[in-house]
């Protein structure tokens, strides 16, 4: 089971701070993208890429690597920031986000970007792919782990629940789902658009072990991910998060979904970023 000390918490906080700066910069230069949805999940991803996952930036197709699937593909800036900082490609590429012929498209493209496992953007498909990867690992007698990041609005998609039903049924115990429970989606508040609660009870009804955490506290994130790895059954981590976390004036702001900051907002955001 993974544990975490004060020095490690401090290290991960610094990494998350750097990743948020990169997300702000790349989306502001692009003039588009999803900085707030990237901010809500970036602490979780920092823990995965810089503490818990087995991966090798020098060998992105390493057979024994863990797999991370950004099912909510519009969170691509968070994924790109992690991949660049880990060394999958030069950090300078971040400045070309969403440009024509760039390796960093608006949604992850596995044919263009080293370290991207699947192309996502149409919501709801991530766990289905992870289940297929888990089945392949079983056939190959491998013990790598699959991590899937769902948006909570994404859980309105029917395919999610078909896949959620399948994972425990087929005994894919090397699959962990993280629900980024920031309660905001493109059309506003999730519970006012099409409520998905109770998320924890629904996963439990399908046979999952559920762990509820604060998705911005490494003291909770790291132990939960550690438990998931050795649980012996599929685990869903319901992470309570804040959309735009780290910059107060964009936190929990529905009309900031899919909107980059202006240059003036960017300068102010860097001043107040925590």
What's the average pLDDT block by block, 10 residues per block, for the chain (274 residues)? 87 98 98 97 98 98 97 98 98 97 97 97 96 98 97 97 98 98 94 96 98 98 97 97 97 95 97 90
Residue 69 falls within a domain, yes or no?
Answer: yes
Residue burial 110-130, b: 16+ Cβ < 10 Å; e: rest:
eeebebbbbbbbebbbbbbbb
Structural domain count of the chain: 1
Q: Is residue 96 part of a domain?
A: yes
Report if residue 173 sits inside a domain.
yes
* pLDDT reported for residue 3: 77
pLDDT at position 106 is 97
Contact 223, 4 (CB under 8 A): yes
What residue numbers bound the domain in which 172 lies?
Answer: 6-272
CATH number at residue 69: 3.40.50.970
Strand, helix or coil for residue 123: coil
Position 1 in a domain: no
Residue 1: per-residue pLDDT? 54
CA 104, chain centre distance (Å): 16
The three-state secondary structure class of 80 is helix
Q: Is 254 part of any domain?
A: yes
CA distance 228 to 41: 18
pTM to 2 decimal places: 0.97
Q: What is the pLDDT of residue 274?
A: 76
Tally of helices (H runs) and strands (E runs) in the chain: 9, 7
pLDDT score, position 83: 98
Residue 188 belongs to what H/E stretch? strand 188-189
Residue 139: inside a domain: yes
């Amino acid at each position: 089971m993974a544990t975490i000390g004060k020095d490690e918490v401090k290290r991960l906080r610094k990494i998350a701070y750097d990743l948020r700066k990169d997300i702000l910069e790349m989306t502001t230069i692009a003039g588009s993208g999803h900085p707030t949805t990237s901010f809500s999940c970036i602490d979780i991803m920092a823990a995965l890429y810089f503490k818990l996952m087995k991966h090798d930036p020098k060998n992105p197709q390493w057979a024994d690597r863990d797999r991370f699937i950004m099912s909510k593909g519009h969170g691509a800036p968070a994924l790109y920031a992690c991949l660049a900082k880990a060394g999958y490609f030069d950090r300078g590429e971040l400045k070309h986000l969403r440009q024509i012929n760039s390796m960093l498209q608006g949604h992850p493209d596995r044919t263009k970007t080293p370290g991207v496992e699947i192309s996502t953007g149409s919501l709801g498909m991530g766990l289905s792919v992870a289940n297929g990867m888990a089945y392949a690992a079983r056939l190959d007698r491998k013990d790598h782990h699959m991590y899937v990041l769902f948006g909570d609005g994404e859980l309105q998609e029917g395919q999610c629940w078909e896949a959620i039903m399948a994972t425990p049924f087929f005994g894919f115990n090397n699959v962990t789902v993280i629900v980024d429970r920031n309660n905001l989606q493109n059309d506003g508040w999730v519970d006012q658009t099409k409520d998905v609660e109770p998320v924890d009870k629904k996963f439990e009804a399908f046979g999952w072990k559920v762990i509820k955490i604060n998705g911005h506290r490494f003291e909770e994130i790291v132990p939960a991910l550690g438990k998931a790895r050795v649980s012996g059954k599929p685990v869903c981590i319901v992470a309570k998060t804040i959309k735009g976390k780290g910059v107060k004036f964009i936190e929990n702001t529905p009309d900031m979904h899919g909107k980059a900051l202006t240059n003036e907002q960017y300068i102010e955001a860097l001043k107040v970023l925590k």
